[in-house]
Amino acid sequence: MSKVEIIKRPVEKLGGDIRKSAWSAAFESFVILVLGILCIVWPDMIVKLIAYIVGTFFVVKGGIAIINYFAEKGPSDILNNKLLSGVVCVLIGIAAFVIGQDVAHVFSVIIGIIIIYESLVRINSAIKLRAANVDSWVQIAITGLIMMIVGVFVTFGAGGVVPLVGWMMVLTGIIGIVGDVIFMQHVNMVVDKLTGKSK
């Protein structure tokens, strides 16, 4: 079965979907960056507020992703990761609400999980780019791995020190945006590879 047969959608829609996903990931990195700056500037006040914002954001985002997965017939689409991302987002959101009352002790764990999730999204994209023989998969994989390391550190090593977590979030946001920009610069190449136009 050819790549064109596997990906049963117009090339224009495929390119638009990929661009939309890349912009969404870049926006999420930007949000992490801004929240990191707030953690550095107002560490005491921002902790609990972030927990509830994060909870709401991820529950809504996850619910929309799960609905879209089934609405777009995701099980038959090899590029559709919305069910996975939706379930993870909802779980993160619920965790933020449940532990919101004692968030000072678990704030770094919440943020670390979010960073790990963002890293997994990029590693997953890199794997798909590698399968499509797109050279930029290496840079995307590297940004994903760096974000994974930062996420693990924030989860297990930051010790709830909010300003330190804030600096890690800033680092993650910058790395994520850089990786997303690299990816967006190669969208046309990705579409050509996936649709068999580029040999």
- What pLDDT, on a 0 to 100 scale, did the predictor assign at position 140? 83
Higher pLDDT, 132 or 193: 132
Residue, of 18 and 127, whose pLDDT is higher: 127
* Tens of pLDDT, residues 132-170: 777 778 888 888 898 899 888 887 876 667 777 788 888
Q: What residues contact 50, with CB distance under 8 A and at least 6 apart?
A: 35, 38, 39, 103, 107, 111
**The predicted structure's pLDDT at residue 103:** 63
Averaged pLDDT, 87-98: 84
